[in-house]
Amino acid sequence: MDQQRPRTCDWEDPPTLRERHLIQSFYSNDYNNGSINDPIKENNETKNNNDNNNPNNDNKNNDTTNNNGNNDNNNPNNDNTVNHSNKNYNINKADSNRIDNEIVILTVRLFDLENQDASILSTVQNLERIRPTVETFMNDTRNLKRVLLRIEQKQIEMEKDIWSLTNNDTGLSKAVENLENFRLNVENFMTQLSQEVAFTATVTQEMTSKNGQALVFPHIITNVGGGYNGNTGVFTAPRDGVYVFFCRITGAYNPDSMFFEFILNGSAKTRNLVFGRSANPYRTSFDSIVLQLHHKDKVWIKMMTGGNHYSSGTGGDQSFSGYLL
């Protein structure tokens, strides 16, 4: 087997204890099996061959041999002793490859450990970044638990109140009745608040009224809330409140004066003159009144003294209006 020069390994870091044992085991096994020659033995054989080829060294060799023999005789323990100190073993190619493979495996494992260390460090840094968020979440969770605890306490109190009411039928029935009445009152009040009331009605043609007649204004222009009846001329209050009413009457060619009144539930509240006996054949009277009405109170215009009524056709000469303040 060809002998090679001693192989040296360049280590970036000193080898570990396991690596040193591994390499030493290769050296020791190969030497004991005879696959690696003893360099000291080879040097002695080379020296003896050189002395035999040089005749001038016969005596020296003999002397040396005798001296060596004497030393061997004086030291019987040296017969089978081989000095292996300062050995410099040569490693064959197969052993070198095995060692290289082991070094590669160890290097790969070292890189894996370094990568694992970097991964662990990155994980720790990520955990440090999310730690404030986790702490905030934990604080919110604790606050939520406190709120839920208060809600549970309120629920327990309500259950106690319900139990007390259910054990007192009279009190519970009265409470339910009061609540229902309150609900109805609130609904009525809200309905009244949201309801507007206003109307205007006129007469669009000439007419003649009689004494004591309820004057009808059949042409309805506005009737918000539906309080005015165009067939009877009567306004019915849809809700309680303060109302304002207006009336305009125009006479035509009347030899005598006319009078009209605002009537509330059959009672006259005002009386107004439409003057006659004038050189001008057309005389107009206008009046207004403010009334405090209750729901379903009735208001209309009554001709105390009737007569002829003028109309231009558009209805502005005879009109009746009102609205809720």
Q: CA 195 from chain center: how many Å?
A: 41
Report the pLDDT value the prediction gives residue 90, as an integer from 0 to 100.
63
Report the pLDDT value the prediction gives residue 82, as an integer from 0 to 100.
41
* Residue 284's pLDDT band (cuts 50, 70, 90): confident
Instruction: Look at 251-255, 260-264, 266-270 and tell me which has the smallest mean pLDDT.
Output: 251-255
pLDDT at 69 over 80: no
* Residue 38's pLDDT band (cuts 50, 70, 90): very low
Q: Comparing C-alpha atoms, which of 241, 251, 238, 235 is closest to residue 200?
A: 235
Mean pLDDT of 95-112: 86
Q: How far apart are CA 309 and CA 318, in angstroms?
A: 8
- Transcribe 108-152 into DSSP letters: HHHHHHHHHHHHHHHHHHHHHHHHHHHHHHHHHHHHHHHHHHHHH
Q: How far apart are CA 96 and CA 36, in angstroms?
A: 13
pLDDT at 194 over 70: no
Q: What is the largest CA-CA distance in the chain?
A: 192
Q: CA 315 from chain center: how many Å?
A: 64
| Domains of the chain listed by start with CATH number | 17-113 (no CATH), 198-324 (2.60.120.40)
Is the Cβ–Cβ distance between 281 and 228 less than 8 Å?
Answer: no
Give percent of the chain with pLDDT exceeding 90.
Answer: 24
Report the pLDDT value the prediction gives residue 35, as an integer from 0 to 100.
47
* Residue 40's pLDDT band (cuts 50, 70, 90): very low
* Residue 77's pLDDT band (cuts 50, 70, 90): very low
Report the pLDDT value the prediction gives residue 158, as an integer from 0 to 100.
84
Mean pLDDT of the chain: 76
pTM for this model (two decimals):
0.42
pLDDT at 261 over 90: yes
* Residue 6's pLDDT band (cuts 50, 70, 90): very low
Which residue did the predictor score with more confidence, 217 or 147? Answer: 217
pLDDT at 131 over 70: yes
Query: Could you give the residue ranges of the DSSP H alpha helices within the chain?
Result: 17-32, 39-53, 58-74, 93-166, 169-194
